[in-house]
Amino acid sequence: MSEDRVSYGFPLPEGEVCPTGSFLLSLESGRSEWSDGLYKIHGYDRGEVVPTRELVLAHMHPEDRDAARRLIETLAQGGGISSNFHRILDSKRQEHRVLTVAEADRDEAGHVVAIHGLTVDLTRSIAIESGHAAASALVNAYASRSIIEQAKGILMGHFQIGPTEAFDRLAAYSQNMNVKAAALAAQLVNAAEKRSIPVILDEWTRRAGRA
């Protein structure tokens, strides 16, 4: 088996594709045919190993093997199509997060005799997306810190107090009103731009008293 499909995955850069490989598993012999792409996902070149059901399961992450066995058993008994998101440990014990989609093949008598399918390596797509999420969280954290510092400055100027007391006042409003400090800070900065600091502080005091 040498045919490989091309799989595109968000959020890969333009021109980059997900490593993909196809397979055919004989249920009678347990032997499997792999495409070149599937050998590469497992860390091998064609001819280095003989693909079998046992080899496939050996390269599964230990926590994912039972699910893989159930997938094979389900298709072997009832046919149809199934999928499994799981982890592969390649020949160098590097972890790959992959999606396998498999379909049962029947003979002329209607018996399931083989399973064929496709495995798509989503490792890099997941890593990039996780990186984007982490970066976004970091940006949001810095943005929150910046707006809180601005609000502290406003409170310091309005009440003629120091930075610690200004933060304590903002934290007290946040706790009493059950509103995040960053959200209150944004309200205060907006009020300062509209020259309505006393109005927003009076409103906070009323709301905190009702809480």
C-alpha to C-alpha distance for 66 and 54, rounded to whole angstroms: 13
Domains (range + CATH), the chain: 20-121 (3.30.450.20), 133-210 (no CATH)
CA angle 99, 101, 103 (to 5 degrees): 165
> Band of the pLDDT at 192, cuts 50, 70, 90?
confident
Helix (H, G, I), strand (E, B) or coil at 199: helix
> Band of the pLDDT at 145, cuts 50, 70, 90?
confident
Nearest CA to 208 among 175, 166, 185, 164? Answer: 175
Q: 65-90: string of b/e by CB count within 10 Å (b at 16+)?
A: eeebeebbeebbeebeebebebebbe
Interval 74-88 mean pLDDT: 91
Say whether pLDDT at 160 is over 60: yes
Q: Which residue has the higher pLDDT, 12 or 48?
A: 48
Threshold 0.85, pTM exceeds = no
End-to-end CA distance of the chain: 69
Q: Which residue has the higher pLDDT, 140 or 194?
A: 194
C-alpha to C-alpha distance for 97 and 140, rounded to whole angstroms: 28
> Band of the pLDDT at 2, cuts 50, 70, 90?
very low
Q: Which residue has the higher pLDDT, 8 or 51?
A: 51
C-alpha to C-alpha distance for 53 and 51, rounded to whole angstroms: 7
